[in-house]
Structure 1
Amino acid sequence: MNPQTSPISQRQNSAENAFTQACIAFSRPRRIAASEAETAALATATRTTHAHEGEDIAVWTWGEGPRVLLVHGWDSRGSHLAGFIQPLLQAGFSVTLFDMPAHGDSAGEHGSVVHSSRALLSLATALADVQAVIAHSMGSAAALIAFCQGLQVQASVHLCGPSSLSTMVKLQARGYGLNPQQSQAFHAWVEQFIGQSTQSVDLESLLDGLRHPALIMHDPEDKVVPFAASMALNQAWSGSQLIETHALGHRRILTDDDVIIGTVAHLAHNVATDQPA
């Protein structure tokens, strides 16, 4: 029997392939095109680019007033939060959204929550007037890191976000069927890739950034990010409120009218605008 086709060899190849796929899934997001409706919305904005770590990040801005920065998740793009734009403008805010490195219209091929947090902090520092953040999924975790590293806002909203990278790495290893030895190797690979320990960006290490009022919304039936992540964030954040959504899963939360209304109300209550009360 050819050893390359033996059952043992096949299992080894399968295990190696699973490890490789886990690494790719962690570091190389899918580049998603904007829908027709999203493209139309983006066309009404002022588009600019922000230079970050040698590459250009695509940025879109609407309106005048206190700036709200919209932060998308993994395998996503800024325009996926387009449903928030008009309600925020009507409430007296200006709105900026952007595509993370290696996402949407931004440059790059690799990323992670740590890479995204650096891009978020870099852009917010350049803008200099970000008063609030609305963040979904991985973008929420990136925002938590940025808060701990100096980004100060008056309020934020977190939708279906993970709160600890170590937990997500374990879940990803499990999802790809990695055995204990491979899982340990995957964790080590992740830490090498992001340039720091996963523990350094777990919730327990980010508490100093949780200093403003926050609204957290999450569906307990979310199959991408466990609801327990938002429960832990709410418990650790004394100035936060957790709202359970229903039948929205991980992504429909971005287009739900009640979620958008609640988000805008939270920001309007905590961020001063020129709009009449």
Structure 2
Amino acid sequence: MSIAAALVGGTLNTTSLASRRLAGRGAFALFSTPLRRGRLRPAELDQIAGARTATMTVEGKSVRTYRWGSGERPILFVHGWWSRGSRVAPLVPGLLARGYSPISFDAPGHGESGGRSTTIMEYREIIRRLHAEYGDFEAIVAHSFGVAASFYALRDEVRAGRLVGVSGVGEFGYLLEKFSGHLKLRDRVSGELRRLIEDGLFPGRPDIWRNFSATHRPEEFDLPILLIHDDGDSMVLPEQSRRIAAAHGDRVRLIVTNGLGHNKILADPGVVDTVLHFLDS
């Protein structure tokens, strides 16, 4: 636990002794706002320079989109929290060589997009609009929180031939558990945070903790799924991918790597080759 996390968590817990609601609002502000946007990496510069960019507006926020290729045979990349669409860069050369058109975006509060916060609903709306523009995706490749968002979008009109989930969040409630555990929040704070998420971010939407989870209603999905997760991932535990695999059964292939962590895994040559082979097969 970092010193900053200890200070923040301690402050919220102390505040809750006087006002649970005030502490909950403070936790809610942190939970719903990415604290960093993720920097453009040097290895991504050439690929981003070659992308065709565009902008859409979602909930009043400007969203940057990227496309390589002609737009035919589209493959969508969905990034995670504190990340950006440029993380698709290691896959771009191989996808183009196979005749695919890689597409990605920066969610609100991330990368080059506007806004300070975002939700799984905004992710879904962006994915839906790109689907309306380019047609059915040959595949969706998603990372971290983007995996849960992709499963949710696939429940609602979006269609794809295959799905790749890397370091994926399988259960929406895991995000709350991870956040509360990282800050060591008392039950009175995490309980209030849970209520604010339900009432503030998703009013009128019952049972969000199940409905936004990749493990919920697996019978609604009928596409091959590749899951890749590192056994040393401390940000999203590999148990999340194991639970997705258990829920979806024979349509899933799960690969567990070693020593790649949560973020480096996307750029690993072996992982890139595995993803491309899965798309070829």
User: Shared topology, TM-score over 0.5?
Assistant: yes
Confirm or deny that 1:77 pairs with 2:77. Answer: no
Superposed displacement of residue 174, structure 1: 1.7
How far apart are the structure 2 equivalents of 1:180 and 1:54? 34
Number of equivalenced pairs: 261
Q: Structure 1: give runs of 5+ residues left out of the alignment.
A: 1-8, 270-277
How far apart are the structure 2 equivalents of 1:193 and 1:245? 38
Any idea what SS the aligned residue of 1:187 has?
Answer: helix
TM-score computed with the length of structure 2 as normaliser:
0.85
Question: Pick from 178, 183, 204: which aligns with 1:171?
Answer: 178
Question: Pick from 13, 16, 29: which aligns with 1:24?
Answer: 29
Cα deviation per residue 1:101-127 (whole Å; 9 max; x = unaligned)? Answer: 221111222113333223222322233
Which segment is superposed worse, 16-25 or 173-182? 16-25
Q: CA contact under 8 A between 2:12 and 2:23: conserved in structure 1? A: no
**Structure label with greater radius of gyration:** 1
Identity of aligned residues (%): 28
Cα deviation per residue 1:76-129 (whole Å; 9 max; x = unaligned)? Answer: 000022111011111221111111122111122211333322322232223324
Q: CA contact under 8 A between 1:101 and 1:119: conserved in structure 2? A: no
CA 83–126 in structure 1, closer or farther in 2 if over 3 Å, else same: same
Any idea what SS the aligned residue of 1:170 has?
Answer: helix
Superposed displacement of residue 49, structure 1: 1.5
Any idea what SS the aligned residue of 2:255 has?
Answer: strand
Superposed displacement of residue 227, structure 1: 0.7
Letter in 1 for 2:276: V
Q: How does 1:223-242 map to 2 (within 5 A)?
A: 223-238=234-249, 239-242=251-254
Letter in 1 for 2:140: V
Cα deviation per residue 1:228-263 (whole Å; 9 max; x = unaligned)? Answer: 110010111131100001100100111101100010
Cα deviation per residue 1:135-170 (whole Å; 9 max; x = unaligned)? Answer: 000111100111112211101100001111112212
Q: How does 1:240-259 map to 2 (within 5 A)?
A: 240-259=252-271
Letter in 1 for 2:37: R
Q: How does 1:117-266 map to 2 (within 5 A)?
A: 117-195=124-202, 196=205, 197-238=208-249, 239-266=251-278
Any idea what SS the aligned residue of 1:130 has?
Answer: coil
How far apart are the structure 1 equivalents of 2:124 and 2:222? 18
Confirm or deny that 1:33 pairs with 2:35. Answer: no
Superposed displacement of residue 19, structure 1: 4.7
Superposed displacement of residue 48, structure 1: 1.3
Any idea what SS the aligned residue of 1:37 has?
Answer: helix
Q: CA contact under 8 A between 1:56 and 1:106: conserved in structure 2? A: yes
CA 10–171 in structure 1, closer or farther in 2 if over 3 Å, else same: closer
Superposed displacement of residue 130, structure 1: 2.0
CA 154–181 in structure 1, closer or farther in 2 if over 3 Å, else same: same
1:12 alignment partner in structure 2? 14
Q: CA contact under 8 A between 2:76 and 2:140: conserved in structure 1? A: yes
Q: How does 1:96-135 map to 2 (within 5 A)?
A: 96-135=103-142
Superposed displacement of residue 11, structure 1: 6.3
Confirm or deny that 1:43 pairs with 2:49. Answer: yes
How far apart are the structure 2 equivalents of 1:25 and 1:88? 37
Superposed displacement of residue 199, structure 1: 2.6
CA 37–256 in structure 1, closer or farther in 2 if over 3 Å, else same: closer
Q: Structure 2: give runs of 5+ residues left out of the alignment.
A: 1-10
CA 21–177 in structure 1, closer or farther in 2 if over 3 Å, else same: farther
Which segment is superposed worse, 80-89 or 23-32? 23-32
CA 122–134 in structure 1, closer or farther in 2 if over 3 Å, else same: same
2:6 alignment partner in structure 1? none
Superposed displacement of residue 10, structure 1: 9.9
Q: CA contact under 8 A between 2:73 and 2:100: conserved in structure 1? A: yes
How far apart are the structure 1 equivalents of 2:52 and 2:65? 8
